[in-house]
Amino acid sequence: MIKRLAKRRLFNAVISLIVGALLLIIALPSLQSAVARAQQELKPKNEVVEAAADETPVEDVQPAEQTAFEKVAETDRLELYFRSSDSAIEVKDKSNGYTWKSAVPLEDAATDGNDLWTASSQSIFHLTFTDPNLPALETQETNSMLEQPKMTAKALKDGISVHYELPRLQISFDMSFQLKGNALEVTVPGQSIKEAKNNWLMAIAPLPFFGAAADHEKGYAVYPDGPGALSTFKSNHPSYLNPYRASVYGPDTITFSNYQRQQNALLPIFGLKVNDNAFLGMITKGEYDANILYSPSGYLINLNRVSSELVYRREYEAVKKDGNLTKKPEKELLREDHTIRYVFFSGEEADYSHMASAYRQYLVDEQGVAPLIKKGDPLPFGLDLLMGIKEGQILFDHFIPTTTFEEARQIMEDMTKRGVNAISANLLGWTGRGYLEYPSGYKPSTKLGGVSGLKQLSAYAKANNYQLFLQDNYIMAWKGTDGFSTRSDVVVGANHFAVTDRYSEMFYLNAGKQNERFQDKMLDPLSKLDITGINFDGIGYMDYYDYNKDYPLNREGTAAKWLEMMGKSKDQFGGAAAIGGNGYTIPASSRLFSIPMEDSGYFFTDETIPFYQMVVHGLIPYSGDAQNLFYDPRLQFLKMVEYGFMPYYQFTMNHSEDLKDTYYSDLFSSSYHNWVDQAVEQYKEMSGKLQPVWSQTMKEHRKLEKDVYEVVYEDDTRVIVNYSPREVKIDDLIIPDKDFIVVRKEG
């Protein structure tokens, strides 16, 4: 959505690429030297033993003589076993006798691997640390196998706790393993961590090889890339340079570029299916400071593994005395508790559909998410209306009214006459400053009809039982726009400088101060409107630390302030919405916008799966990308059907040519009269066929064959989508090319 400097940035990006290529050629020998040095540093160092040698071959680093596993806990479904010599654990699923292991059997770990990673595959944790006294940040990785920690075990109810002391690093912490029904919970208490002056803890990855699968096994890994992604195990695969690594709820650092941006990890989950067994990992505490890791076989070792990484420090850009920038570790340790819960499945339940059901049940049972869609509710038409936007000119910006409040009412009225019986509308650029001008204020534009016009529109929507959201952004701010201070109201980085783009034109706003301003100045002027609520742009796709001295906030604190704003919107208007879908917005949202349909496109990803949609369908209405802004409208339509989206368009009453010189020229085809016939036709088709399942949860999703997918809802209604250009036959059912059918539970 950030369009103001796109052309200038594109030019600078091209120049930077050319300069970067020249520098790379010049620096190639140094780069090769750095790689060689990194490889040397990766060799394990046996400094735990007081030996004179600084380096010891990996094969000489062996754990103490292994003791037998002892059962330390049991539930109706699981048994937990613990090995005191190296604290390895095993979880036995009593339903079929399958055992999940934290340490990979050596005969599997050594296959086409290397000694370093064979040792790593036996570890109960990986650990990243740094020396804060170095002039620039240099992180190093180690693991429990290499460090040979001193361990003290203590029995707990339903499990065991282990205290680890790493003598070489002078770092220590606790980690507990406890059974809870059909789940294993792994907890690292934040207060248990101690560290040395010369070795600072950066991150801990518990159970990095838990359940790791070899190439010959059948199954896949699940990771939260966009809606969800799946990578199958393969006997033939390349060597990968990078794994999937994503910070939960988006990048740790604020970026001002949307080019090649990785999709968010919207949910703190990961999963693994191995033959007829599977687990779902979900971070239930400390997810704001955690990463999700998936390493396919071929990345460093031929094992497929998925896990989480708990973050205790981040890096930031510091200014050196000579004025140059360098990376440094944050000074303060994040002392928060982290808990990862592993839920186990077997037999026919061992698939990503049951993983999604388990996470949905967690949201309902433990996070208070209640279904907002009632049985029999009509399928709504998602209607975005761009009201007004400014066109930059030399002296004064020109406000372009693309849809007035009266015209918005006319559009809704016309759609109603055409047979659309439910509308969920959202207004963009409804204030006097127009769309994408932030802070946008709270006064409805007089050129659109002013307060009275918006009041009449909202009254019409309420009378027809239509939703009406007012979209606004309380995160971004442009220099020169009234309503904020670039000194006191903006996000500050760990280097104590305001976070801004290279031109110091765009800023991000402190969530605490925005929450206060929203409650003091925004809510009361809008109180007489019959709207459904505020649609909060930004809070669902980014989260950040803020070192603002007046209102410092960590990522969880920032999200908490935004959620408080959503709560105030619900208190006053009855609802609130969020754009982006980060998991923390789910309990507070009456509707979710811009839920992704695609993953980031990693080489090892085999399928995009609607994991997120399977979690929220039947609970909260959601929409994705506008149908009229997609390169292939038919493909988009079928994707909406498969993923359970509401039909969704973005319109203007006037022609989109008026937007060509604005910051929203991407809205290249928006005229209502050009699209209304298609929109109404698609709505009627979706409503007629899919309305009975609109309030239901998705029970299963599967690929039937190439380009053919099936969704099964809770009453066993089947929706089969055929993306291929040919007619297909499934179970004596004919699915036309590029079409879908609905098979009711009666057959």
Question: Which among 269, 271, 295 is positioned nearest to 352, based on CA atoms?
Answer: 271
Amino acid 655: pLDDT: 65
Is the residue at 450 inside a domain? yes
In a domain, 389, yes or no: yes
Provide the pLDDT for residue 18: 44
The residues facing 342 across adjacent strands are 184, 281
Alpha-carbon gap, residue 31 to 24, rounded angstroms: 8
Instruction: Find out whether 284 and 341 touch, Cβ atoms under 8 Å.
Output: yes
Q: Tell whether 590 and 479 lie within a shared domain.
A: yes
* pLDDT single digits (tens) 342-383: 999 999 999 999 999 999 999 999 999 999 999 999 999 999
Asked if residue 671 lies in contact with residue 402, where contact means CB atoms within 8 angstroms, the answer is no
The residue among 342, 367, 392 that closes a domain is 367
What's the confidence (pLDDT) of residue 19?
Answer: 39
Average pLDDT over residues 321-344: 91
For CA atoms 201, 202, 206, 212, give the dihedral sign: negative
Tell whether the model's pLDDT for residue 22 goes beyond 80: no
Between 14 and 693, whose confidence is greater?
693
The residue among 367, 402, 425 that closes a domain is 367
Tokens of 316: 């930031």
Q: Do 197 and 139 lie in a common domain?
A: yes
Q: Is residue 3 part of a domain?
A: no
pLDDT band at residue 114, thresholds of 50, 70 and 90?
low
On whether both 515 and 620 belong to a single domain, the answer is yes
CATH number of the domain within which 739 lies: 2.60.40
Q: According to the model, what pLDDT value does residue 32 have?
A: 39
284 and 409 in a common domain: no
> Can you tell me whether residue 430 is helix, strand or coil?
coil
Q: Is residue 247 part of a domain?
A: no
Q: How far apart are the first and last CA of the chain?
A: 46
My answer on whether 562 and 638 are in the same domain is yes
**pLDDT 10s digits, 574-618:** 999 999 999 999 999 999 999 999 999 999 999 999 999 999 999
pTM as predicted = 0.90
Q: What is the pLDDT of residues 140-183, one digit of tens each?
A: 999 999 999 999 999 999 999 999 999 999 999 999 999 999 99
pLDDT in tens, 660-670: 555 545 555 77
**Does residue 717 form part of some domain?**
yes
Q: Does residue 349 lie within any of the structural domains?
A: yes
CB 201 within 8 A of CB 333: yes
C-alpha–C-alpha distance, residues 184 and 223, integer Å:
19
Classify residue 714: in a domain, yes or no. Answer: yes
Claim to verify: residue 576 and residue 635 sit in the same structural domain: yes
Same domain flag for 476 and 561 = yes
Do 682 and 627 meet the contact criterion of CB atoms below 8 Å apart?
Answer: yes
For residues 399 and 530, membership in a common domain is answered with yes
pLDDT of residue 279: 98
Say if residue 297's pLDDT is above 90.
yes
Considering only CA atoms, which of 508, 502, 480 is closest in space to residue 396? 480
Domain that holds residue 645: 381-695
Provide the token pair at 237: 């695969």
Mean pLDDT for the chain overall: 89
CA distance 514 to 561: 8
For the domain that residue 182 is a member of, what is the CATH number?
Answer: 2.70.98
Asked, for residue 499, whether it belongs to a domain, the answer is yes
- Same structural domain for residues 706 and 691? no
Residue ending a domain, among 332, 367, 402, is: 367
Token pair 């604290």: residue: 87
Cβ distance 499 to 564 under 8 Å?
Answer: no
Kindly state whether residues 361 and 291 are assigned to the same domain.
yes
Residues 401 and 324 in one domain: no
Taking the C-alpha atoms of residue 142 and residue 648, their distance in angstroms, rounded to an integer, is: 49
The CA dihedral of 598, 603, 609, 610, to the nearest 10 degrees, is -30
In this structure, the answer to whether residues 325 and 385 fall within a common structural domain is no
* Number of domains, the chain: 3
- CATH number at 591 reads 3.20.20.80
